[in-house]
Amino acid sequence: MDSSFHIDDAALAELLKQAFSGTDRTSVPVTCVGSTYVALRRQGVLLRDYWLDDGELFSALSSTIIPVLSQPDFKGVDTIEMCLTHDYHRVPLPEFKSKFPNTKIGIRGIKLQYQSHVALYSPTQMIARNLTFQQVFESFLELVSISAQAFEENGGIIESFEAKQVLISLNHSPKVAIVYRGNQIVPLETMSYQTILDMALSMGEWLLRMCAEDGRLIDKYLPSQGKESNRYNITRQFMATLCLIRYAKFTGQPAHLALADRNLNYNLTQYEHQGKAKLGAAAIAAIAIMEHPDGDRYREIFQRLCQEIEALWQPDGSLGTSQEFPKRKQQNLYPGLTLLFRASLYKANRDRQILEQCCRSFLYDREWHWANPHPAFIPWYSEACALLFDETGYRMFRNFVFEMNDWLLPMQQWDNQQYVDARGRFYDPTQPEYGLPNAAATGSYLQSLVNAYRLAVQNDETERARAYKLAIWRGLRSIRQLQFKDDVDMFYIRERAKVEGAVRRTVYDNTIRLDNVQQSLMAILKLCHLPEFTN
């Protein structure tokens, strides 16, 4: 199909405004070279969708879509979703994965045909339903009751196509948005202090809304299904508790602190019911109690947590991770959490024995990390070392923060990322053991870089501070891109209160997980205490 398909965005927007406002057409005609997907939505709910044949767009809309809008069943349609498709290409089955990677979800569409059965999925359809190409293909094979091999051998056809994506808001007068992967690009130059303040408040409000009466926080929410997961990760939950406490301090609202307290109570009860020590959970729970303005109320359980952590600390500075395996070698998360716990304890009581333990753990961990470098080690360890440098002035802590974050910087994708909406995230495709890209990882690395930036500024490390600052702004741009924030990126959301302000996993996976939000929010809260950053 014609690969020279070009439509001027302004001309298209003007034509669509005229079509849906009922005015006479004065705009330049737009001829579609492929089928056009049109979906009618009311408050996020899909009422009906169509695939219009190629041809002149205004006429197709006037004869098919516009008459439907006057019917009683379609009263109140507030959003029209459109994809003008083009550039169809046959895809042999062996090339399926290379032509339909996850990074193309929301950008590329897919057409499947087997005998009389035909299925098309537009890019915005896949975003709204949170589908992968593999899921679409498997669903089609199930529908026609055939295997992938038989599909290929018996003439099944797979095609890819591109699409111009448009969202039309019908509230009041029609407003047209040309979108990319069902969203609008957040330009780096639009980021400001006001932006990050809005991010902080909207993320914080989402956390507050997600806290149930008994104090439990929803661990994972699936926007396309309108369902929450029953998963409960105790370490992740306590991290969110700490985030809630910090957010309550930031807002100064007693009601926010009361809710954070309710959540802390719930998680402490769940932890004790589990009946066994979990190093990461114990450390972050103890930190949360220390940062709680009324933490003395939890003195008894705090002492038990301290004892559990102490029992897992080894004389050489290494850590066990459970009572069953006290000598198990440390993982990437736990060293930073336990060092931050001890650093916080040292700040509170100035016990030299605790500082000695910190130093011994630090020397062990530093050697271990450079023998087994992994980015997940860095965020909590940077926070712990930054605090220890603040309290002791020992340069080894500050220097290690710089070393770790200098090593981290090249993982951020910018000029080397072809998808503009994914720029600013942290991901190294050459190192799959570092994990897949996701918002929680970017948020945690932002926390690390904020700690490094503060130390760089305080110690006149001008070039480092400049590099860290640029990386932070780029990372914040990525998180803002992933945040559910307006009518455009929530065009398919039915229960907005469970989504607005939250952060999806990636630009092509709208799953909301608790740490997507809390990691990013804790980074932003740190920034709000650094006026030199936003100035």
Report helix, strand or coil for 90. strand
Nearest one of 214, 27, 117, 129 to 491, comparing CA atoms: 129
Alpha-carbon distance of 91 to 440, in angstroms, equals: 34
The strand pair at 79-90 and 117-121 is best described as: unpaired
Take residue 310 and report the two structure tokens written for it.
């102490």
Amino acid 22: pLDDT: 83
CA 411 vs CA 45, 375, 408, 471, 519: distances in Å: 39, 9, 6, 10, 18
Neighbour tally for 201: CB within 10 Å: 16
Amino acid 4: pLDDT: 53
Residues forming beta bridges with residue 85, ordered by sequence position:
163
Report helix, strand or coil for 247. helix
Amino acid 1: pLDDT: 46
- Are 505 and 513 in contact by the 8 Å Cβ rule? The answer is yes
Alpha-carbon distance of 306 to 310, in angstroms, equals: 6
Ramachandran region, residue 268 (left: φ > 0; alpha: ψ -120 to 50; beta: rest): alpha
Nearest one of 351, 357, 346, 331 to 389, comparing CA atoms: 346
pLDDT in tens, 193-208: 999 999 999 999 999 9
Amino acid 531: pLDDT: 83
Alpha-carbon distance of 203 to 502, in angstroms, equals: 6
Neighbour tally for 515: CB within 10 Å: 23
Take residue 2 and report the two structure tokens written for it.
């014609």
Low-confidence stretches of the chain (pLDDT < 50) are 1-2, 324-329
Take residue 91 and report the two structure tokens written for it.
């895809």
**Cα dihedral 241, 245, 248, 253 sign:** positive
Q: What is the pTM of this model?
A: 0.95
Amino acid 321: pLDDT: 56
